[in-house]
Structure 1
Amino acid sequence: MHSKWVKRFDTTTARGPRLVCFPHAGGAASSFLPLARELAPDVDVVAVQYPGRQERFDEPPVEDIGRLADHIAAALRPLTDGPYAVFGHSMGGLLAYETVRRLERWRLPEPSRLFVSGQVPPRERRGDYGTAADDAEIVAELRALGGTAAVVLDDPDLMALVLPAVRADYRALRGYTWTPGPPLRCRISALVGDSDPVATADAAAGWSAYSVAGAEVTAFRGGHFYLEERLTEVAALIDATLGVHTG
């Protein structure tokens, strides 16, 4: 795998199906390292690395969901040669959905499952999250949602490094408009935190209209970044869904 768009973690040699993970707004591929360790060695976890962060820090961020999905879908072509699934959290859920749309449109093998975490269907998206326009509003929203360590939010030097990517992702979210098209062929699993102010279980149930195979919703205890505290439970759900038996 030789693509700057996809990162594989140095975990135990993986076997079984591949899981392609999409980070949240402002997030990087490394946010999925704990999940990769939890699922190793029975699931081959790889994560998408957006421009403008970590080893791609010097590259300009892409401020358009559609263009991001185009680039990522092209980079994932070689990874569709065996059983695989896709997992996206928050903005990553929306981007994962758009990427799978492109893979199916290009008649590539579809994933066995699309896991959409902390994200409602495109037509259910609310205008009060992910639309902050200035730095003060963005920082306030990051504090409200959690998932960004207070030590980062309270350090001007660290925030100066993080904010350019976050700004770009927020612009991408503000500019996103869903384009009608065929529903996906793969089944969707929607995962939410039961106290998430952004993606409620009721709203996430609407994902069933976006796949001919339908969808189901699973709620975990926690907020928007429930995954950090419910890692073992989420990994168990992924294992069961993909037919993997760890241990």
Structure 2
Amino acid sequence: MKLLCFPYAGGSSFSIYRQWTKWLSPIQLIPIELPGRGSRMEEPLLYSLEELEENLFQDIVRNHIQENDRVALFGHSMGSLLAYRIGLRIGTDSPYSLVHTFLSGFDPLHLPRKKVYHRMSDREFMHEMCELGGTPIEVMQHEVMRNTFLPVLRADIQVVETYLESDRNVADCKLACDMSVLYGFHDNTMSDRIHSWNRYTHCRTEFKGFEGDHFFIVNDNQREVPTYVRKVLMEKLAVSI
């Protein structure tokens, strides 16, 4: 089984998920890089979900999965939106078998966002991103690093927020697989309506909380999260044998 992993805004999938391989075997982890970072650094950034989704889907079917592969998806924060959208495409009229989707650290898509970041000034934007905890203040204070990282982060935030502003009927599209929704107990970016994620699948939804804030998958639970993911997927494999 292959587990495709999608990054949070501004992140590189390889950097975020590379340590997970030691806890996932025999599941094959495949970090999906976005244009403009990591191994795809030379490619231009994309600013709309439609463009990014198409770009990623073509990259995935060309380079990472083959017909009859059993596929699972994991995304954190922005990566949850990407995992959901790619899951709709893999699970509908395709030669791939979508087994499970993990959505982490992200409110159900139909809920209003607490804040809209992409319209903020650079100063406000940098302050808010540092407050969320995923961006070290040292990065924003270092001119070269800031000038490299800030455009990537802004592009990703714009992708998410412009999509959510434009499409309020997103729950009409449902995944054809079970879902796990992961969240941090102290994540103040999320609402108390997380359980309405169950509207986004025709199948079963499980909710799993972890100690930590919005970046609980890297800050507090570098072993616990992939261990949980492996447990869920190994149960799927056992059922299919």
Equivalent residue, structure 2, for 1:154? 141
Equivalent residue, structure 1, for 2:6? 22
Asked if the contact 1:205–1:216 (Cα under 8 Å) also holds between the matched residues in 2, the reply is: no
Q: What is the letter of the counterpart of residue 34 of structure 1?
A: Q
Q: Secondary structure at the match of 1:101?
A: helix
Percent of pairs with identical residues = 28
Deviations for 1:134-167, whole angstroms, at most 9, x for unmatched residues? Answer: 3222211221111223332321221111111111
Which 10-residue stretch deviates more, 223-232 or 130-139?
Answer: 130-139
Matched, 1:230 2:228: no
Equivalent residue, structure 2, for 1:221? 211
Alignment partners' CA distance in 1, 2:91 and 2:72: 13
Equivalent residue, structure 2, for 1:192? 183
Deviations for 1:158-201, whole angstroms, at most 9, x for unmatched residues? Answer: 1111111111112112210335444111111000001101124x
Alignment partners' CA distance in 2, 1:221 and 1:130: 26
Deviations for 1:17-76, whole angstroms, at most 9, x for unmatched residues? Answer: 21100001111122211223332x322111111111123222210111122112212222
Equivalent residue, structure 2, for 1:11? none
Alignment partners' CA distance in 2, 1:196 and 1:47: 24
Q: Tell me the CA shift for residue 128 of structure 1.
A: 0.6
Equivalent residue, structure 2, for 1:243? 234
Q: What is the letter of the counterpart of residue 197 of structure 1?
A: N
Equivalent residue, structure 2, for 1:204? 194
Asked if the contact 1:70–1:102 (Cα under 8 Å) also holds between the matched residues in 2, the reply is: no
Compared CA separation, residues 31 and 213, structure 1 to 2 (3 A): same
Which among 106, 110, 123 is matched to residue 123 of structure 1? 110
Q: Secondary structure at the match of 1:73?
A: helix
How many aligned positions are there? 227
Alignment partners' CA distance in 2, 1:132 and 1:88: 24
Equivalent residue, structure 2, for 1:134? 121
Deviations for 1:192-239, whole angstroms, at most 9, x for unmatched residues? Answer: 001101124x32211101001031211111000001121211122111
Q: Any gaps of 5 or more consecutive residues in structure 2?
A: 236-241
Equivalent residue, structure 2, for 1:100? 87
Runs of 4+, deviation exceeding 6 Å: none
Which among 142, 157, 171 is matched to residue 158 of structure 2? 171
Equivalent residue, structure 1, for 2:22? 37
TM-score, length of structure 1 as denominator length = 0.84
Alignment partners' CA distance in 1, 2:147 and 2:189: 26
Alignment partners' CA distance in 2, 1:89 and 1:130: 18
Q: What is the letter of the counterpart of residue 65 of structure 1?
A: L
Which among 32, 43, 47 is matched to residue 48 of structure 1? 32
Q: Tell me the CA shift for residue 125 of structure 1.
A: 4.2
Compared CA separation, residues 150 and 35, structure 1 to 2 (3 A): farther
Alignment partners' CA distance in 2, 1:69 and 1:157: 29
Alignment partners' CA distance in 1, 2:22 and 2:137: 25
Which among 174, 184, 208 is matched to residue 183 of structure 1? 174
Q: Secondary structure at the match of 1:20?
A: strand
Equivalent residue, structure 1, for 2:239? none
TM-score, length of structure 2 as denominator length = 0.86
Which 10-residue stretch deviates more, 218-227 or 107-116?
Answer: 107-116
Q: What is the letter of the counterpart of residue 239 of structure 1?
A: R
